[in-house]
Amino acid sequence: MPDPGWWEALWPDPARVLRDIGVTSGSDVVDLCCGDGWFTFPLSRPARSVVAIDIDAALLEMAKIRMAERGGAPNCTFIEADAYEIVGLLNAPVDYVLLANAFHGVPDRPRLAEAVHDVLRPGGLFGIVNWHATPREQTPVLGQPRGPATELRMTLEQTIASVESGGLKFSKNVDVSPYHYGAVFERLR
Ligand SMILES: C[S@@+](CC[C@H](N)C(=O)[O-])C[C@H]1O[C@@H](n2cnc3c(N)ncnc32)[C@H](O)[C@@H]1O
């Protein structure tokens, strides 16, 4: 996880990002690979329920603390688990799965996309927030190059190809930061 100072500078309005990528009020949402919960708290406001999943216990603990510091969210559950196991972690299908700043690091992307497909309701959405495939030197925040190594970054087209092979249909793209795209996919039926 990045250190919070520049992360906050890069994402000053996470609630706006969520609106832009189609998270709607009253929905059941998963924050997959939630990290220290920068997007989890703003998700918990419009959503009916949020399940926040991460493999790193220490980051999950930070996400819980962040949530508690903001007054808590009774509609939010935190689960320490591997993202590939998402199907077995939920009691019911959901309306939206968010994967922010993590897809570039997933070893088997079609496998993950297929698992996400299987937990979405028909009409449900998968939103991927990913760094554009620009060189790392060209994505400074607070005066330093930031984000994943250049060779790890994925173009929108690469992301679409990986996710559609898991059965979801590309729906729209929105630029959600100076350096990120927000690609939204739909489960058609
Ligand atoms: C750069 S952080 C992004 C955190 C958060 N989504 C955000 O944008 O603020 C990537 C996160 O992915 C998590 N992660 C990596 N592999 C994972 C896996 N197989 N299952 C669940 N979480 C994973 C890491 O622990 C880390 O918290």
* Phi/psi at 64 (5° precision): -65, -40
Residues of the chain with pLDDT > 70: what percent? 98
Q: pLDDT digit string (tens) for 50-65?
A: 999 999 999 999 999 9
Q: Residues near ligand 1 with C-beta < 6 Å?
A: 1, 33-35, 38-39, 53-56, 59, 82-83, 100-102, 105
Neighbours of 48 (CB within 10 A): 13
Q: Whose CA is nearest to atom 12 of ligand 1?
A: 33
Which residues, in sequence order, are CB contacts of 188 under 8 Å at separation 6+? 122, 123, 169
The model's confidence at residue 16, banded by pLDDT at 50, 70 and 90, is very high
**pTM attached to this predicted model:** 0.97
Q: Which CATH superfamily is domain 12-180 in?
A: Vaccinia Virus protein VP39 (3.40.50.150)
35, two tokens: 């990290």
Domain range annotation of the chain: 12-180
If one residue of 10, 21, 55 were mutated to test the ligand 1 pocket, choosing by the most ligand atoms within 8 A of its CB, it would be: 55
Residues of the chain with pLDDT > 90: what percent? 97
Check pLDDT > 70 for residue 149: yes
Expressed in angstroms and rounded, the spacing between residue 155 Cα and the centre of ligand 1 is: 19
